[in-house]
A and B are shown apart, each in its own frame.
Chain A
Amino acid sequence: MSAEHQHPTPSQYWKIAGILAVITAIEVALFYIDRELELGALNAWMLIALSAMKFVMVIGWFMHLRYEKGLVSRFFAAGFGLAIGVYAIVLAALGVIVIRGG
């Protein structure tokens, strides 16, 4: 495990956790802001973007995927990408995701 020494230090882990906590706080704040301002789709996309940041940070640093061989990332991404792809199509076919024609 030659890559071991590159792993973050405890203080870096604390910083990452702090960022994750702050993002979560922003998400919850957005939820309440949306109740007042009714941002609709914009709010949804902001929330998705924020949670995607958390998702990537946990995988990259806590699960050390950044330090693994590319093969592992490809396997993992295959499962994730396939899930997104097929379920998006299922939801579109069932009319949950509506594709608006131009």
Chain B
Amino acid sequence: MTATAERPATTIFRRPRSKTGIWSWITTVDHKRIGIMYGYAAFAFFIIGGLEAILLRVQLSQANAEFLTAGAYNALFTMHGTTMIFLFVMPASAAFMNYLLPLLVGARDVAFPRLNALSWWVFFFGAIFLYSTFFFGTSLPPIGPDAIPGNLPDGGGPGSFNWISGSPDGGWFGYQPNAGPFYSPGTAMDYWAGGLQILGLSSLISAVNFIVTTFNMRAKGMRLMRLPVFAWMTTVTAFLLLFSLPIIAVALFMVTIDRQFGSLFFAATAGGDPILWQHLFWLFGHPEVYILILPAMGIVSEVFPVFSRKPLFGYSAVVFAGAAIAFLGFGVWAHHMFASGITPVAQAAFGLATMTIAIPTGIKIFNWLGTMWGGRLRFTTPMLFAIGFIAMFTIGGLSGVTHSIVPSDWQQTDTYYIVAHFHYVIFGGAVFGLFAGLYYWFPKYSGRMLDEKLGKWHFWLQFIGFNLTFAPMHWLGLQGMVRRTWKYAPEMGLEGWNQAVTAGAVIIAISILIFMWNWARSRRRGRVAGMDPWDARTIEWMTPNPTPEHNFSEPLEITKLDHFWHLKYDEDEEGRPRRREDADAMLEHLEDVGNNPREPIHLPSSSFFPFLVGLGVPIIFYGIIYHTSIAGKALIVGGILLILASCVGWGIEPVDEPHYGDHDEEHGEEPVAEEGELVDD
């Protein structure tokens, strides 16, 4: 082949080769490194969103408190919700998916490694874009006679928090026309709409990548019904993202065009229909709820069998229930709109559809309980978090069913009962599940174990703090405490429980500090994990800890569900698991081969271009916000040119060593040119 000789001559591009240092992280296409970056970024935003929540709770700990102005309060609850959903739970789930999906299906990397890096960089720059609103954004008083004094961050008061004044304040749901150009004339809501748009783009790219990875990159013998449940839930989540993000993309474009270019989609005075926004938003927003919870369900479905020493009870039922939840999730959006004036027929239909979601959810819960039933339970920290997940999620699920009864929902709409409900499912559910995953898979990342004693302190404090925070919100809500309102009168008698709630929030904060201490310490000085520290069942544990860059050294051939377990165990006469005699030798062999592959393994080459394309996206959105000025127009043009140029570079950059196979041969949606061009056919 003349190609190899020609290659350096025909191109000015060289693939970056750093293996360490900042450039190696900027140019990496390794799914594990990308997952780690997602994880740390998500955790940073968890802290930021948590601090926002603490400020809200300080304000609410007393009746008629003057700690925050109404405007600052609006800004903080908007950013708290937006941060926790789009910048914490979604990227934290993405961290697990990135790190684990290729390992779970038995692949070298995801289907499109560079697109995967692109997802991450688009997310990263999108998050920076969204938070740059604090520096560049403005929220101005509403235009016209509807101005409400004190409704803005800079309205004075001892805790006016002027630095918040650039923050979006229209709620994470951005209801129209409140978040439109008339009532929110500053640029803050443009930052919100643009930021969500960019984050959505990132997730859409990931979704395509993960679906293709699951379907096309499986190891030999890894049939779909042998996939670990987390891989299944990743795929189901990816489908939810795939089909729901285009909807919110259109809705956000409509908002941006309304605000920036004067279209009239949601301008009620000109005949526009604000209810359309609600439909489009919740058409995305309800699947989004399952996007948050399904990965956590996948995680606990991995944790329960390991710590019960039993196979997952009803594997196929768990998988199909996950898919059913996703499917039904597209048919229930209007239950967020029972108080918005939809017809009785629609209310009845959506109420019924909502109730049916309880069926697949119940199937899952009973399957997890069935997995534990009669098992040899080990109450390790991941197991505790997983059990906490079931208990808390069930409470949240049951209060959710009460919303599906329309008259009951009218009573509960916009009260703290709703706040209690969704924190039980998202914090009690998703976040507990994510922590279970962190404790469970920490050895894969670091090669060490998180400290169990600190872990149990973390769990119990978080569990107690969580319930102290969110359980009283049920009764506060039923007593009539309304959401999104910065004050309540002392004679309402709400102060006592509110103080309990604030105390609970502080306890959660302490538990998180313990976790951070545990993490920082264990990463360097934790107990060395060795191979298979949990006596696990799935094939990601067939690689050494920490996972080597190339994942698996030898081709796999999957023969069963829980393949790894069956390599270690067979059954005695009574059907009980009996460790094979050669199990330890096999583990030793796996560790040795895993760290010292017998033949050279070619990995996807690093690339600068995902970083550059990702950088171009927010530049365009800055330009749109300031499009009336020359600088804004220049930013739009510059951003587009940067993206186009980077795409061309992406297309024609060469592969390092063409002799070995390389996943990176596959490219994304910009098949401008391929390495193949450089080869004379």
Contacts and interface: CB of A to CB of B under 8 A. Distances in A.
Interface string B530-545: 0000000000000000
A90 B215 contact: no
Contact of B334 (A79, A85, A93): A93
A93 B243 contact: no
A99 B192 CA distance: 37
Interface in A75-102: 78-79, 82, 85-86, 89-90, 92-94
A71 interface: yes
B187 to A, nearest CB: 30
B604 to A, nearest CB: 24
Interface string B330-358: 11001000000011001000000000000
B342 A93 contact: yes
A71 B215 contact: yes
Interface in A2-20: none
B342 A90 contact: no
Interface string A48-88: 00000000000000000000000100000011001001100
A94 B330 CA distance: 17
Contacts of B343: 93
A92 B247 CA distance: 17
B273 A94 contact: yes
Interface residues of A, number: 11
A85 B349 CA distance: 14
A78 B279 CA distance: 20
Given A79-B243, A93-B343, A93-B346, A86 B273 contact: no
Given A71-B215, A82-B330, A90 B243 contact: no
B279 A94 contact: yes
Nearest to B273: A94
A88 to B, nearest CB: 12
B283 interface: yes
Contacts of B280: 90
A82 B279 CA distance: 15
Nearest to B333: A86
A90 B242 CA distance: 19
B672 interface: no
B283 A90 contact: yes
B275 interface: yes
B283 A86 contact: yes
Contacts of B334: 93
A79 B244 CA distance: 10
Contacts of B275: 94
A93 B330 contact: no
Contacts of A71: 215
Interface string B264-298: 00000000010110011001000000000000000
B331 to A, nearest CB: 8
Given A71-B215, A79-B243, A82-B243, A90 B330 contact: no
A62 B23 CA distance: 44
B283 A94 contact: no
A86 B279 CA distance: 10
Contacts of A94: 273, 275-276, 279
Contacts of B279: 90, 93-94
A82 B275 CA distance: 21
B215 A86 contact: no
Nearest to A95: B343
Contacts of A92: 346
A54 to B, nearest CB: 23
Given A71-B215, A93-B343, A86 B276 contact: no
Contacts of B331: 86, 89
Contacts of B276: 90, 94
Interface string B315-341: 000000000000000110010000000
Contacts of A85: 330
Nearest to B283: A86
A26 B557 CA distance: 57
Contacts of B242: 79
Interface in B337-396: 342-343, 346
A79 B246 CA distance: 11
A86 B343 CA distance: 17
Contacts of A78: 239, 243
Contacts of A79: 242-243
A86 B346 contact: no
Nearest to A92: B346
A82 B287 CA distance: 13
A86 B342 contact: no
Interface in B217-266: 239, 242-243, 247
A92 B350 CA distance: 13
A76 to B, nearest CB: 12
A93 B334 CA distance: 9
Contacts of B239: 78
A89 to B, nearest CB: 8
B329 to A, nearest CB: 11
A76 B331 CA distance: 19
A94 B340 CA distance: 12
A91 B307 CA distance: 49
27 contacts: A71-B215, A78-B239, A78-B243, A79-B242, A79-B243, A82-B243, A82-B330, A85-B330, A86-B247, A86-B283, A86-B330, A86-B331, A89-B331, A90-B276, A90-B279, A90-B280, A90-B283, A92-B346, A93-B279, A93-B334, A93-B342, A93-B343, A93-B346, A94-B273, A94-B275, A94-B276, A94-B279
Interface of B: 215, 239, 242-243, 247, 273, 275-276, 279-280, 283, 330-331, 334, 342-343, 346
Given A82-B330, A90-B279, 19 more contacts: A71-B215, A78-B239, A78-B243, A79-B242, A79-B243, A85-B330, A86-B247, A86-B330, A86-B331, A90-B276, A90-B283, A92-B346, A93-B279, A93-B334, A93-B342, A94-B273, A94-B275, A94-B276, A94-B279
